[in-house]
Chain A
Amino acid sequence: MASQRKLYDSRLQAALLLLPTFVVLTAFLYYPGLATFRLSLYETLFLGQQTAWNGLGNFVALATSPAYRNSFVLSVVFAAVVVLGTLLVSLLIGYLLFDVGTRSSLYLVAAIWPYALPPAVAAILLSFLLHPNLGIVTHYLELVTPWTLDWFNDGPQALAVLAIIAVWKQLGYNIIFVVAALNNIPQTLTENARLDGVGRLRMLWRVYVPLISPTLLFLVVMNTIYAFFSTFPLVDLLTSGGPSGWTNLLIFKLYRDAFEFSNLGSASAQSVVLFVLVAVLMYVQIRVTDGYAQYGA
């Protein structure tokens, strides 16, 4: 190799430079990961001080538990709504931001703002705004719609509210990417469509969406991870899994099983299931959409 360059003086120096990263990854990723896999095969007592080999017993128990199956189905439905809802809404808002002629950066900042809010702060604020009795949003919604809003007691309503909040929280992240991707499309394509008289929505679905499909695929994957893992604070602060288990998402259930009910073995098994579920979903998403995604011209 002609271009081989020496970036370090000795192997020892190279190893030393790699060490911090390696230590952090091992301590906080690889070791806990492996420990979780190991724990998922044991029955545990008191935060894991006493363990007993259980084989696949934890997984069998999960598969036969109605509460877990309920949580599993809820999570998948919730994730599907959040992933698609986020993508759809951010695509429409992103398109408006891309299309608007004046003050677009002002609108962009406004649209991204929710993403800058810490999830816990957002959850607390929204719990006031959407409070069934005291919330200003709920009050006016009830005035203009025939519904009675009581998501403290109504399970489906609680899940819907949670999904809407989860979508809203993730919009900013999606919009940044959508607007950036749209701005990368050569302007002459848009101008040519104007000369042809192509309608804006038709242009969005037939031209822009195919052209930004690599970005959309990326967002689907990121939103999937978000919907399964990062919605914990919203559930914890807004509904705590209730009413009657309607918002008991997998990530929340396994936290409670581990740290409230001290059932580390079962919680580890749930972690493994969640990990495998998301990994499989991402693999399928990438395989399925890769054939459609347009990379470059």
Chain B
Amino acid sequence: MADIQLRDLTKRYTDDVLAVDGIDLRIHDGEFLVLVGPSGCGKSTTLRTIAGLEDATDGTIEIGDSVVNDVSPKNREIAMVFQNYALYPHMTAAENMSFGMRSVSDFSAEEIERRVADAAETLGIEELLERKPKELSGGERQRVAIGRALVREPQVFLLDEPLSNLDAKLRVQMRAELLKLHRQLETTTVYVTHDQTEAMTLGDRVAVLNDGQLQQVASPQELYDFPENRFVAEFIGEPAMNVLPVELRATGHGLTAAHEGFTVELPGTTDRAALGADDRTVSFGVRPEDIALASSLPDGAATFTAEVTVTEPLGEQLLLHCRVGSAEIQVKVEPRSQVAVGESVTLGFDRERLHLFAADTGETLYHSARPKADPNGRAEQSHEPASSEGLAPEAEPTG
């Protein structure tokens, strides 16, 4: 077991390509940390640099208490699982799992046999040990690949999109198995994925990367409820958060966000300076599920009208694409709501779930709910209209 500390980690391929741009990140002992981001964001490069498959251009990588920048991959006490499994096609599952150990002289034959048997039992692949990869299904291959990582008994597991080659159903099943395995072994794990669902379901904490830079590290729920910037807000959540330009207006008791299609009070605000908004125009964010049809809102709630352009029944919910002024927003409503395309609907916001981002930098200016430090990362809604502390420009992640 070991923790990992990245300090100012930078990876530059050529003068033009900066894959990883100064990442500072501490991965705690026994933690399951997910690196997530769009393709090309540097998440795989970060993982490969931790593994030693790439050299860091700058910064340090510590595993345990020692800096490992100049330690060869095999001596870093890590094991890695690849997206394409990377099994040797001419070897059986058992040979695949033991090849690495048989290649170095540190292990006795009995030790190797014991470890392979243990790993096979843990993963339930005892029956498959004598089969070659081409005789295995995708899920079985991935289990063997994980087994190969297990036999190394590493300090750290590195997984690079391990489920991306599996079909949807198997992916869900393997996700659960990975979680179970992690609970059983409690080995520090770094997991790279582009799939935000995987990131949310697997990670103790999730690190969001974009353009080689760390955007936010937080527990899944905190990431969802209190994104630190517009990128995280839009990247996490499916469908993405609606983000619209609004103008901030002062009223007698706080601020309102005015859009051509609606005006909404921002609970707990005082004035623009307190938000740190330099501009009058800011980006207003609200998730599709935090907008509702007026019929399901409490009486007296502020509403606005929008025109439905597309309806997408998702089964458990109905997704509406609506036109508000010149903007398009997505709204998740009750699955069996009677809404037709072209119809005008009356909508209202959940006042506890509004966000403001700076128009230029995308930094978060305001959440209408306030993040609460909580070990499970479940931030409570603690907003009280009278409180002047309702704004939280710097929602500090805690984990």
Contact = CB atoms under 8 A, between A and B. Distances in A.
Interface in A280-297: 294, 296-297
Nearest to A189: B86
Interface string A52-63: 000000000000
B103 A296 contact: no
B75 to A, nearest CB: 8
A195 interface: yes
Given A191-B53, A195-B79, A210 B90 contact: yes
B103 A197 contact: yes
B89 A188 contact: no
Nearest to A190: B86
Contacts of B72: 197
A134 to B, nearest CB: 50
Contact of A186 (B73, B84, B148): B84
B86 A199 contact: no
Interface in A27-67: none
Contacts, number: 67
Interface residues of B, number: 27
A198 interface: yes
B199 interface: no
Given A191-B53, A192-B80, A197 B100 contact: yes
A197 B71 CA distance: 12
Contacts of A192: 80, 82, 86, 100, 148
B104 A296 contact: no
Interface in B317-360: none
Range of interface residues on A (Cβ < 8 Å): 20 to 34
Nearest to A186: B84
A176 interface: no
A196 B74 contact: yes
A206 to B, nearest CB: 7
B100 A198 contact: yes
Interface in B31-88: 51-53, 72-75, 78-80, 82-84, 86-88
B89 A191 contact: no
B147 interface: no
Contacts of A206: 99
A210 B90 CA distance: 7
B80 to A, nearest CB: 6
Interface in B96-110: 99-101, 103-104
Contact of B74 (A194, A211, A297): A194
Contacts of B51: 195
B133 interface: yes
Contact of B103 (A186, A191, A196, A294): A196
A41 to B, nearest CB: 48
B134 interface: yes
Most buried by A among B53, B79, B101: B53
Contacts of A188: 82-84, 86
Interface in A257-297: 294, 296-297
A192 B75 CA distance: 13
A103 interface: no
Nearest to B86: A188
Given A210-B90, A297-B89, A191 B100 contact: no
Nearest to B75: A197
A165 interface: no
A207 B79 CA distance: 19
A202 B89 CA distance: 16
B74 A189 contact: no
Contacts of B86: 186, 188-189, 191-192
A296 B89 contact: yes
A193 B100 contact: yes
Contacts of B104: 196-198
Nearest to B82: A188
Nearest to B79: A195
Contacts of A294: 89-90
A186 to B, nearest CB: 6
Contacts of B90: 207, 210-211, 294
Given A191-B80, A196-B101, A198-B104, 6 more contacts: A188-B82, A188-B86, A192-B82, A196-B99, A196-B104, A202-B103
Interface of B: 51-53, 72-75, 78-80, 82-84, 86-90, 99-101, 103-104, 133-134, 148, 152
